[in-house]
């Protein structure tokens, strides 16, 4: 129980001000370029979202017919250029007309209802669609954890790590490639900074400042990134000759040659499969190994797999405990985010008589767009800043739990105490300066 309580200590450190600062920087480095991409490229995903099937011509025609009917009924004096009615412009016009109808609340509400209906038909940017799909996936994970139902947890994790990235690659390959590489780099530095802060705190050295943690991780960005992608790169490199070997079976003679020499792709495929297994087992602890023990990327990526092979039962027990603690922490953070944004939104809405914008994390996380109305956009901006801080706390929680799990497994397998953090002999990484000499 003492070890479990120590592992759960990440719940108390996840929301420290320095962690929130690091998390805000990480979230800003992801949100900023993502929103800039959507603004520069424009909408590319149909309104149903990233995981839905792309619209057919008939569905687009039905959406246009709906918007034309709404425009003719509610805005007969407004004309739109071009053969198609832009959904964003129609939604903005309806929202503006609703604000003008202060003397007729019923008509204003009809306008707002129509604006919401039209807004649901606005095409999505790639980043907007990606964040919406990921928000829905992680909401399912948290809801399943709160209800102790493993099915939505498994489905949500599968969507977050497999279905959503695969759909993003299929729907917008350019965005997926560029933003995926950028996300990997930012996430590696962020997780490295969080892991360093958690290790220093767990070692009793105090609290590492945000600037020191980010500087530490940025200087080791290659090792941190390689701790995730190193084994995958090895596996892909080894698998390429196996794919080329398959070309032999395109002809009869080549097929016989390939059948005789089939032991070659079997051996190479086994090496590639082993590399992928190492990636799966080692990726959770890669940043912790680099940040705690000063290891290189490939060496750090192997630590988790080595500990699994050495003590599989301990590995599974520690990972299960860490997953449970993370689930509890995420549920708490989501409840806090819900309360701290929805309660003010409802209170202000009551005070304004329904004329104020209602924007909160709880309103609809799967449909997170930048509002078209200027006032609502400002409110959305403030709520987004809070959501970025909350996202940073979530990342800090996950990284902290994995770092403490790594320290426990290292103690179990290697005999190193949990307060042994590289550099082991110089406790100078709290203030980045050596302490004064004793007199």
* Model confidence pLDDT, tens digit, residues 50-88: 888 888 888 888 888 898 888 888 888 888 777 788 888
Q: Considering the chain, what is the average pLDDT of its residues?
A: 83
Question: Looking at residue 435, what is its pLDDT?
Answer: 45
CA distances in angstroms from 115 to 75, 76, 203, 429, listed in the order given:
11, 15, 55, 54
Residue/partner pairs of 97-105 with CB below 8 Å, 24 or more apart: 99/355, 99/373, 102/355, 105/354
Q: Which 3 state secondary structure label does DSSP give 45? A: strand
Spans of all domains in the chain: 2-44+172-414, 57-119, 125-171
- Looking at residue 397, its pLDDT comes to 92
pLDDT band, residue 35 (cuts 50/70/90): confident
Kindly give, in sequence order, each residue whose CB lies less than 8 Å from that of residue 338, ignoring residues fewer than 6 positions away.
Answer: 360, 361, 362
pTM (predicted TM-score): 0.81
What is the per-residue pLDDT across 290-311, written as a single tens digit (0 to 9) for each? 999 988 888 888 888 899 989 9
Q: What is the pLDDT of residues 310-338, one digit of tens each?
A: 999 999 999 999 988 988 888 888 788 77
Tokens 């992801």: give the residue.
30
Nearest to 402, CA basis, from 310, 286, 290: 286
Report which DSSP code applies to 426.
Answer: -
In the block, residue with structure tokens 């630590």: 303
């Amino acid at each position: 129980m003492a070890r479990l309580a120590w592992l759960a200590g990440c719940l108390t450190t996840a929301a420290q001000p320095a962690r929130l600062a690091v998390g805000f920087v990480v979230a800003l480095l992801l949100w900023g370029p993502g929103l800039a991409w959507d603004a520069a490229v424009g909408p590319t995903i149909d309104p149903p979202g990233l995981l839905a099937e792309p619209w057919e011509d008939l569905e687009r025609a039905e959406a246009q017919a709906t918007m034309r009917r709404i425009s003719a009924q509610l805005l007969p004096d407004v004309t739109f250029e071009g053969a198609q009615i832009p959904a964003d412009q129609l939604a903005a016009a309806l929202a503006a007309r609703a604000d003008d109808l202060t003397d007729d609340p019923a008509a204003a509400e009809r306008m707002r209802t129509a604006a919401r209906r039209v807004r649901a038909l606005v095409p999505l940017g790639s980043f907007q669609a990606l964040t919406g799909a990921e928000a829905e996936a992680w909401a399912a994970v948290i809801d399943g954890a709160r209800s102790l139902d493993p099915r939505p947890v498994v489905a949500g994790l599968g969507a977050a790590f497999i279905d959503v990235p695969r759909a993003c690659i299929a729907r917008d390959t350019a965005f997926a490639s560029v933003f995926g590489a950028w996300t990997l780099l930012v996430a590696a530095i962020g997780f490295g900074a969080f892991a360093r802060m958690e290790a220093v705190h767990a070692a009793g050295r105090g609290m590492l400042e945000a600037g020191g943690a980010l500087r530490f991780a940025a200087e080791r960005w290659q090792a941190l990134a390689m701790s995730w992608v190193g084994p995958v790169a090895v596996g892909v490199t080894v698998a390429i000759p196996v794919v080329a070997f398959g070309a032999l079976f395109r002809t009869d003679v080549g097929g016989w040659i390939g059948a005789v020499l089939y032991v070659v792709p079997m051996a190479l495929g086994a090496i590639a499969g082993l590399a992928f297994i190492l990636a799966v087992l080692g990726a959770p602890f890669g940043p912790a190994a680099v940040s705690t023990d000063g290891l290189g990327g490939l060496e750090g990526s192997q630590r988790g797999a080595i500990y699994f092979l050495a003590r599989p039962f301990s590995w599974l027990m520690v990972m299960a405990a860490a997953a449970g603690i993370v689930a509890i922490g995420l549920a708490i953070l989501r409840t806090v985010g819900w309360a701290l944004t929805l309660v003010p939104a409802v209170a202000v809405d009551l005070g304004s008589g329904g004329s104020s914008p209602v924007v909160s994390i709880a309103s609809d996380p799967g449909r997170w767009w930048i509002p078209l109305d200027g006032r609502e956009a400002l409110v959305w901006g403030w709520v987004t800043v809070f959501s970025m801080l909350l996202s940073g706390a979530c990342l800090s929680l996950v990284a902290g739990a994995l770092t403490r799990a790594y320290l426990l497994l290292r103690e179990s397998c290697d005999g190193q105490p949990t307060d042994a953090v590289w550099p082991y002999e110089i406790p100078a990484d709290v203030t980045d300066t050596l302490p004064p000499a004793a007199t």
